[in-house]
């Protein structure tokens, strides 16, 4: 089982993914870690870092999928995958002979902006817009554009309103997983399971 958590910048993907990992007793695989590891290895091999992802795509259009596949394989295709933005990655995941459940997080613009300011420090609306659509460099690479995440969000099995507390989001996700008939581990609180 692969559970994918996607959302725009500041939607709480990491916090929600960690909660899903705890809930489902699965390891976490983060896209940012995969890409940063690749870019670091690329720098060590070539002595320079190609921050523009399109350079890698010209060399091998499937480079990102190969990285994701290797990371999933390390966990026997049982993990929570957080942070994909590219529609083709979701397409590739759906082609695996493995159950894939995709959770999308929707959060208001104001809440996402506030969360990013709390996490990264004050930013202008222009900086927020550039981070949101993936044109601003962050952690050594430039992300995909806004259209990519919009397309990817349309491929979710369900969308969760992540404006509330982590507990409220967890309950929504737990309910959605049960609706999709995904069996929750026995460690999940029985009282909460009966309330859903």
Average pLDDT rounded to a whole number, residues 156-170? 90
CA distance 77 to 69: 9
Average pLDDT rounded to a whole number, residues 12-21? 92
Q: What is the pLDDT of residue 148?
A: 75
CA distance 92 to 149: 15
CA distance 68 to 81: 9
Counting the structural domains of the chain, the total is: 1
Q: What is the pLDDT of residue 42?
A: 62
Average pLDDT rounded to a whole number, residues 6-22? 91
112 occurs within a structural domain: yes
195 occurs within a structural domain: no
44 occurs within a structural domain: yes
Q: What is the pLDDT of residue 97?
A: 86
Under DSSP, is residue 101 helix (H, G, I), strand (E, B) or coil?
strand
Quote the domain boundaries for residue 105: 2-186
CATH number reported for the structural domain that contains residue 9 in this entry: 3.40.50.300
35 occurs within a structural domain: yes
191 occurs within a structural domain: no
61 occurs within a structural domain: yes
Average pLDDT value for the chain:
78
pLDDT digits (tens, 9 = 90+) for 110-130: 898 888 888 888 888 888 877
- Indicate if the pLDDT at residue 48 is higher than 70: no
Helix ranges (H only) for 60-161 are: 63-74, 87-95, 109-120, 125-132, 146-153
Q: What is the pLDDT of residue 17?
A: 94
């Amino acid at each position: 089982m692969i559970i994918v958590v996607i959302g725009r910048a500041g939607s709480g993907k990491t916090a929600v993914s960690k909660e899903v990992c705890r809930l489902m007793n699965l390891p976490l695989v983060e896209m940012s870690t995969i890409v940063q590891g690749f870019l670091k290895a690329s720098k060590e091999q070539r002595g320079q870092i190609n921050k523009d992802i399109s350079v890698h795509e010209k060399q091998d259009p499937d480079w990102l999928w190969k990285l994701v596949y290797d990371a999933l394989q390390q966990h026997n295709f049982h993990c929570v995958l957080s942070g994909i933005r590219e529609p083709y990655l979701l397409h590739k995941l759906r082609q695996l002979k493995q159950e894939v459940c995709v959770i999308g997080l929707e959060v208001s613009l104001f809440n996402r902006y506030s969360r990013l300011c709390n996490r990264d420090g004050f930013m202008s609306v222009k900086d927020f817009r550039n981070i949101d659509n993936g044109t601003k460099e962050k952690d050594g690479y430039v992300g995909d554009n806004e259209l990519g995440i919009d397309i990817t969000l349309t491929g979710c099995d369900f969308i969760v309103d992540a404006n509330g507390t982590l507990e409220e989001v967890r309950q929504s996700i737990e309910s959605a997983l049960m609706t999709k008939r995904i069996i929750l581990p026995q460690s999940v609180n029985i009282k909460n399971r009966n309330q859903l």
